[in-house]
């Protein structure tokens, strides 16, 4: 039951999203009937309308229905102020003797006999 409701909701959302495609598909599927019975210019065959006037009306009505309601939109104005400031560029001077850091290794113990590990001098 849940799958049926989910599929039904998905189909409804897709039909609403692609409503113009559905209108075009419906028009081309029923173009002969629309041209013979619903077209405003069916009495004037020299215009070669073939029901396109009905298609234009349906697409215009759908675009009008899809347009956002102007009352629901909020117009917010954001004022941005920019103050010019001076930026001082600091140059990096590398040390003459780089500092060496010991890293931790899980598999091995580190035996270092560097200048850091020595007995204190009195």
> Residue 29: is it exposed, middle or buried by C-beta count within 10 angstroms (0-12/13-18/19+)?
exposed
Cα separation, 21 vs 26, whole angstroms: 9
Number of domains making up the chain = 1
Domain extent at residue 13: 7-67
| pLDDT bucket at 104, cuts 50 / 70 / 90 | low
In degrees and rounded to multiples of 5, residue 64 shows phi and psi of -65, -40
Would you state the pLDDT for residue 66?
Answer: 77
pTM (whole model) above 0.75: no
Q: Is residue 28 part of a domain?
A: yes
| pLDDT bucket at 7, cuts 50 / 70 / 90 | very high
Q: Is residue 108 part of a domain?
A: no
pLDDT at residue 121 above 60?
Answer: yes
| pLDDT bucket at 102, cuts 50 / 70 / 90 | low
């Amino acid at each position: 039951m849940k799958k049926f409701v989910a599929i039904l909701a998905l189909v409804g959302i897709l039909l609403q999203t692609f409503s113009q495609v559905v209108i075009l598909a419906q028009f081309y599927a029923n173009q002969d009937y629309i041209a013979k019975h619903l077209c405003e210019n069916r009495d004037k065959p020299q215009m070669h309308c073939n029901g396109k006037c009905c298609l234009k009306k349906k697409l215009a009505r759908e675009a009008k229905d899809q347009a956002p309601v102007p009352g629901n939109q909020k117009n917010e104005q954001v004022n941005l102020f920019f103050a010019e400031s001076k930026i001082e560029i600091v140059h990096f001077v590398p040390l003459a003797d780089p500092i060496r850091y010991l890293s931790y290794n899980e598999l091995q113990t580190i035996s270092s006999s560097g200048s850091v590990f020595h007995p204190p001098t009195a």
